Amino acid sequence: MLQEVVLIKLGGSVVTHKQRPMTMNKIAIDQIFKSLLSVKVPIIFVHGGGSFGHYWSVKYNMHSKPDSYPSDGIAVVHESMISLNHKLVKSMIRFKLNPYSVSPFSIISNNKPLVKKIIELASMTRDKIIPVTFGDIVYRTHHKYSILSGDELMTMLSYVLRPKRVIFAVNVDGIYQNPRTKELISTVEEGSLIKFSNVNFDVTGGMKRKVREALKISLAGMDVHFVNGFKPDRLLKILDNKKTKGTVIKGKRSSKRNAR
């Protein structure tokens, strides 16, 4: 039977200082992992690139579009993600969280999920292991590569694992109706998913991609939470099924094949 898990994306702007190249946000990272010490639910983490992968992918002009990017750029972007992942994993080990680093290379091929390997990740959580995977530069086909965002990985993992909770930890309180007034959307009901996807929010850049992926996940029947990663108590509340500040996009019920 498929092991029930919680899938958490740690945004690059939470785990790194976005404005400072190759600098992780140690305080934020330690705070999150420390707060998870008491949590008993099986977790799989995905993390973003922040001032590691994004910094280099911008320098080398690499995108999500498959292309023949320069080999030195591919090497440097990948190394920067390995380095960030290593720092996160080391912090988790200090808090005795038993992380297991998983390169996206081993769970996807040409941006398609390797179902068997992803199910193995869920099985590993039974052994008190927390798999930690990440956005990266990945091989596509015919000598082309592309940037795979951690947000897209969240969708691929959700489709296969149908997690009990899907959580995006971001650097703001949730999805704002209007970022200028910081008017927070607390719930997107199932019935307004399509409307929401078309017009009903105003987000830019990285947040736009997260919302796009979150909508795919919710259309497949799972609730998706957005929470402030700098406030781990809120994350804990979601894990505890309690109400907290943030945004939840309700999953489409009719597709809840494995309703949990």
Q: How far is the CB of 190 from ligand IP8 (least distance, A)?
A: 26
Nearer of residues 74 and 252 to ligand IP8, judged by Cβ: 74
Residue nearest to ligand IP8 (CB): 135
Determine the residue type at 131.
P
Taking alpha carbons only, the member of 189, 88, 64, 67 closest to residue 136 is: 64
Q: How far is the CB of 199 from ligand IP8 (least distance, A)?
A: 24
CA dist 257 and 190 (Å) reads 15
Nearer of residues 25 and 244 to ligand IP8, judged by Cβ: 25
Spatial neighbors of 116 by CB under 8 A, at least 6 apart, are none
Nearer of residues 84 and 190 to ligand IP8, judged by Cβ: 84
Nearer of residues 14 and 249 to ligand IP8, judged by Cβ: 14
Cβ atoms of residues 177 and 183 within 8 Å = yes
Q: How far is the CB of 40 from ligand IP8 (least distance, A)?
A: 27
CA dist 137 and 101 (Å) reads 16
CB burial string 154-189: b at 16+ within 10 A, e below: bbbbbebbbbbbbbbbbbbbbbbeeeeeeebbeebe
Nearer of residues 151 and 190 to ligand IP8, judged by Cβ: 151
Cβ atoms of residues 230 and 224 within 8 Å = no
Nearer of residues 51 and 244 to ligand IP8, judged by Cβ: 51
- DSSP annotation of 41 reads S
CA dist 169 and 171 (Å) reads 7
Q: How far is the CB of 46 from ligand IP8 (least distance, A)?
A: 7
Footprint on this chain of ligand IP8 (rule: CB under 6 A) = 12, 48-49, 53-54, 57, 77, 81, 135-137, 147, 149-151
Alpha helices, DSSP H, located in the chain? 12-15, 26-35, 50-59, 71-94, 115-124, 150-161, 193-198, 205-219, 232-239
Q: How far is the CB of 81 from ligand IP8 (least distance, A)?
A: 5
Nearer of residues 29 and 137 to ligand IP8, judged by Cβ: 137
**Token pair listed for 161:** 């694992």
Q: How far is the CB of 150 from ligand IP8 (least distance, A)?
A: 3
Q: How far is the CB of 148 from ligand IP8 (least distance, A)?
A: 7
